[in-house]
Amino acid sequence: MQNAIYYEGMYMLLPDNFSDYDAFIQDLQTSPLPAQYHMVVLREDYNARNHAIIKGRSITPYFLSGYHDSPSPVTITNPDKVYPTHVEILDQTEYNSRLREIINKVCPGCQRFKPLSNRVQSLNSHFDEISLDGVCLFRQESKPSPRSFHNNLYSFGGFFKRFHYEEQDSREMQHNLKQWFYVSYSSAILDEEYGQKSLTLCCKKNEFLTPILTDAISQYTNHISYHTYNICLSDNFACTQKYLDDVLSPKNAETFRKECKKYGVSIAILEYDQAATEIVRNSLRELVDRFWMFPLLQTNGKTHYLVADTARVLKELRYRTPLLQAHNTTIDIYDQYTNSHYEISFDMKKTVLE
């Protein structure tokens, strides 16, 4: 393993003239800012391809040599955002060989696993899903494949733009929401004022997640319609602690899990050092902006999220390990399966919640 740093979402090898992180950070803290260093920037995906075998992809903290191995200038403006870490550098041949060994050892039993042989050379999907230490967040042991709310959002977005949402009436939009998201409402009213349309929906009373799903759909449609089409609830819904406690209570566990399975979502509770609240939230801003996570309730040291694709979000949190681990971040996941607690690290240690 080699000494490296994590800074502003990137992994970089320490400059050659520094033996360890302490020496580097001491130099950084005594240098005028912004400070510039020459470092090798490491990537998980170099977008290189060679026939049937995808090349240039890895999963942190394992990175590939042979693509961009030369140091490049990196400017650091805030030493407090620099975090120490360790990485391993391998060439593509060694990476593929070790990945193949891991797949044959770990993947049997997964519904998505197809045995590898000398005649079957493609490792394509595994490059994105399983690391060389055997951590896979995408394992599937039962059929059918779980739904993904995130996929449904983007599928709906394609329809939304392609079939001119401006021409859809309230009944059609209500039907479309049910078709794409499996969520149904008791009524829908469409109003228009000054070129802006508002679809007001009334939830059925026997479902827990409809209000927060509707809010998530509203955020997405506002984004892709440039705020010319607003989806809202007829009741003034507020996602309070009492509401979330009720949704996640043991007495409602069976109904909650059925809805998670139906809609392809989970609820996550992220906890971290109170003093690092803004740091942690800012590190997850990209996931929120890309609709992988939707903040529900935020307090110092704790945030509840609606998660649109649990496996992808956990992988992204794993990538941010140096920052999140430095601030003692953990995550509890409530989904269609067993409720789980993760200590965020490269091995994503998992325990089952009672």
Per-residue pLDDT reduced to its tens digit, 57-79? 999 999 999 999 999 999 999 99
Of the candidates 40, 54, 25, 29, the residue with the CA atom closest to the CA atom of residue 87: 40
Residues of the chain with pLDDT under 50: none
DSSP reduced 3-state for 173: helix
- CA-CA distance, 192 to 254, in Å (whole number)? 40
226: DSSP letter: T
Taking the domains of the chain in order of start, what are their residue ranges?
Answer: 2-129, 149-233, 243-352
Q: How many Å separate Cα 190 from the centre of its chain? A: 33
Could you tell me which CATH number the domain at 243-352 has?
Answer: 3.30.70
Report d(CA 31, CA 156) in Å as an integer.
51
| CATH of 149-233 given 2.40.50, 3.40.50, 3.30.300, 3.30.70 | 3.30.300
What stretches of 127-275 adopt beta strand conformation (E)?
185-193, 196-203, 229-233, 266-271
pLDDT at 112: 81
Note the pLDDT of residue 143: 82
Q: Is the pTM of this model over 0.75?
A: yes
DSSP string, 257-325: HHHHHHHT-EEEEEE--GGGHHHHHHHTHHHHHTTSEEEEEEETTEEEEEES-HHHHHHHHHHTHHHHH
